[in-house]
Amino acid sequence: MKFLLFFIVLLTACTNTDDAVNETEAVTDENNNNNLQLEEDNNSVDNIEENVNEPEAVEEEEEVILTAETSVGDVAEEEFVTVLKEMYGEEILELLIHNKVFENEAEALGITETDIESEISFLMDTMGMENNEEFYQIMEMQGVRSEAELRGRILEHLVMEELTGLSSEIEEESLLEEYEKGQEVEARHILVGDEETAEELISLLNDGEADFAELAESYSQDPGSSEEGGELGFFRRGTMTPPFEKAAFSLEAGEISEPVQSQFGYHIIEVLDRIPFDDPYEEVSEQLYTSVNERRMYEKNRHKEALLENVEITIHDEELEGFTLD
């Protein structure tokens, strides 16, 4: 009896134990499920917070840079530059290339900013000016729009002086020599298209194998004088192209020049006679100064054209295709 009672108690304990185990497992499973649900909820909350903290990326609009604002509409910088290029693109490009040519030559010749400053100081001293603002106001009245433009002009001036050896300052000695060459010369010439032909004709003349007038009638491309044997009559300074004038007034009567190049071709010049000045030097010195200065300017411009002709240019902008440097 006691054994049976013990067995029943033991069996009941085992049953209770199994139930407890099962109950414990159920609770554990429920807790695990609750934990999983909690994690999912936390993840959802995190995602919501991330979405709140990280707003959707909005494509930023490109900032428009304005050149001007008006009551009738704004002018964007892009629009301004486009129209400017369409209207003045080639002119501006030519100016920029021109500046770079002379900057490059200045560097090669050793011309510095100090040299430019010295020229500006000289100008100001010559004009009796000490105030920079007043000085540039005067420059603007004379067509120089900015300090940068003035410095560019001075740079070009210094480069051309170095390349040609011709100073802008004309000494009185040079003017007196010019005065001695007379007021007028009588000359004849033969105009041909190339230097080689000119050299051949000069050789014939110097060797006495040909007559000047006959060669002029046969070879000269000047319709106004060829039929007259190349005769031009008497002329004063300022009536002929500068290189022709310089050669003619430098020759003695009966002397034949070397080939003289001008925009028309190559000239062979012979001076026949000369008329001296009637007026004293003092009364014609300004006229002589103008003539000598014009010749020097012509010579400098010729060198300048040669510089620009040697520039190699490749255009990458379709809107500027066909651009040539004048």
The pLDDT tens digits for 11-45 are 343 344 444 334 444 434 444 444 445 444 445 44
Residue 10 counted as domain residue:
yes
Would you give the DSSP letter of residue 279? S
Region for residue 230 given its phi and psi (left: phi exceeds 0; alpha: psi -120 to 50; beta: otherwise)? left
pLDDT for position 25: 43
Reported pTM = 0.67
Would you give the DSSP letter of residue 318? G
**CATH of residue 254:** 3.10.50.40
Domain total in the chain: 2
The pLDDT tens digits for 117-135 are 999 999 999 999 988 999 9
Residue 205 counted as domain residue:
yes
pLDDT for position 6: 36
Host domain of residue 20: 1-38
pLDDT for position 56: 53
Residue 4 counted as domain residue:
yes
Would you give the DSSP letter of residue 319? G
Identify the CA nearest to 51 among candidates 43, 39, 63. Answer: 43
Hunting for tokens 């039929």 — which residue is that? 227
List the end-to-end C-alpha distance of the chain, in Å, as a whole number: 135
Would you give the DSSP letter of residue 194? S
Residue 255 counted as domain residue:
yes
Identify the CA nearest to 109 among candidates 150, 169, 157. Answer: 157
